[in-house]
């Protein structure tokens, strides 16, 4: 395996371009001796003779010319990478985002539309994942940005090396058949969450098939009411949770601000209240990348 110091490629490339070591030394602000030494070291690193005598000077060997052509490509890529990573550079590149559907729809999609018009050099690829899945992808650098959530009653634990931007939060309640909500119609204020749960202690309950946080919350509030919920069903889609409720198969958590569906009531949970909290998470030190900084800035403005 060949290991090359890319800095030495600059000397070789300039020699191919300028034709003499003196000209290279003048361009790079060094001496002809240094130019000679750097190219000689590059020759040793590659195990290939890169120069040959040419009268009183030198010229590139065929191998040297081929490497100089590669050097042009390599040095251009390095310059592009430096520019891409320069916080003051114009945002460009492809941003990989994994997150849950609600955050993608409400937070990311408007930004994607805006970037298409104002920053066409920035591309975004989207992967729908639950928080634990997105954080695993972030940890191994398979994505650049994770949109995750937790509940205030079941906070997630994010390890070191992750930067977090809190985006928004929304109250969640208990989704039940509309007929079952009538017993609470006379209350001026919502009853305590424990009392609310106790009223449905004999029902089956619907959890999330891909995130244990929902079940953690259901078990916590049920324990406050003195029972263990029968976790009979699991669904990742909120539409499916509603369908299961309408079919009389159970009750489950739904956002309070979800558009009302005929036959379903969403009972608010208070004392304690339940809120879903959305976050944008990145690997530590990566948020200065212009493309990522641009998207995070837009998200911060929209909070």
Phi and psi at residue 56, in whole multiples of 5°?
Answer: -90, 0
Mean pLDDT of the chain: 90
- The third-level CATH classification (topology) of the domain covering 169-275 is D-Maltodextrin-Binding Protein; domain 2 (3.40.190)
Predicted model pTM: 0.72
pLDDT of amino acid 286:
83
pLDDT at 159 over 80: no
pLDDT digits (tens, 9 = 90+) for 121-155: 999 999 999 999 999 898 878 899 999 999 999 99
* Fold equal for 6-85 and 169-275: no
**Domain ranges (residues) in the chain:** 6-85, 93-162+277-301, 169-275
Is CATH 1.10.10.10 the right assignment for the domain spanning 6-85? yes
pLDDT digits (tens, 9 = 90+) for 64-100: 999 999 988 888 787 777 666 677 778 888 999 999 9
Is CATH 3.40.190.10 the right assignment for the domain spanning 93-162+277-301? yes
The token pair at 88 is 């003051």
Residue 230 has, within 13 A of its CA and on its CB side, a CA count of 9
DSSP assignment of 59-100 equals: EE-HHHHHHHHHHHHHHHHHHHHHHHH-TTSPP-EEEEEEE-
């Amino acid at each position: 395996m060949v290991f090359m110091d890319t800095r030495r490629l600059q000397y070789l490339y300039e020699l191919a371009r300028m034709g003499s070591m003196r000209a290279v030394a003048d361009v790079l602000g060094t001496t002809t001796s240094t130019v000679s030494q750097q190219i000689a070291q590059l020759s040793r690193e590659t195990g290939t003779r890169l120069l040959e005598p040419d009268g009183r000077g030198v010229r590139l060997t065929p191998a040297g010319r081929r490497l100089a052509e590669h050097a042009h490509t390599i040095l251009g890529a390095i310059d592009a990478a430096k520019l891409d990573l320069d916080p003051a550079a114009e945002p460009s590149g492809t941003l990989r985002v994994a997150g849950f559907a609600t955050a993608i729809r409400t937070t990311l999609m408007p930004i994607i539309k805006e970037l298409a018009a104002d920053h066409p050099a920035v591309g975004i690829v989207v992967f729908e994942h639950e928080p634990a899945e997105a954080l695993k992808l972030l940890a191994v650098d398979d994505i650049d940005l994770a949109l995750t959530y937790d509940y205030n009653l079941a906070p997630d634990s994010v390890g070191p090396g992750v930067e977090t931007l809190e985006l928004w939060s929304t109250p969640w309640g208990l989704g039940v058949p509309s007929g079952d909500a009538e017993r609470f119609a006379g209350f001026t204020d919502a009853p305590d969450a424990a009392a609310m749960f106790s009223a449905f202690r004999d029902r089956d309950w619907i959890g999330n098939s891909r995130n244990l946080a929902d079940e953690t919350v259901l078990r916590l509030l049920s324990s406050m009411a003195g029972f263990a919920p029968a976790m009979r069903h699991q669904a990742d889609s909120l539409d499916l949770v509603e369908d299961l409720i309408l079919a009389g198969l159970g009750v489950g958590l739904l956002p309070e601000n979800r558009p009302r569906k005929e036959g379903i009531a969403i009972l608010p949970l208070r004392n304690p209240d339940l809120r879903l909290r959305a976050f944008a998470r990145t690997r530590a030190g990566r948020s200065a990348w212009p493309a990522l900084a641009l998207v995070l800035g837009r998200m911060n403005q929209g909070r």
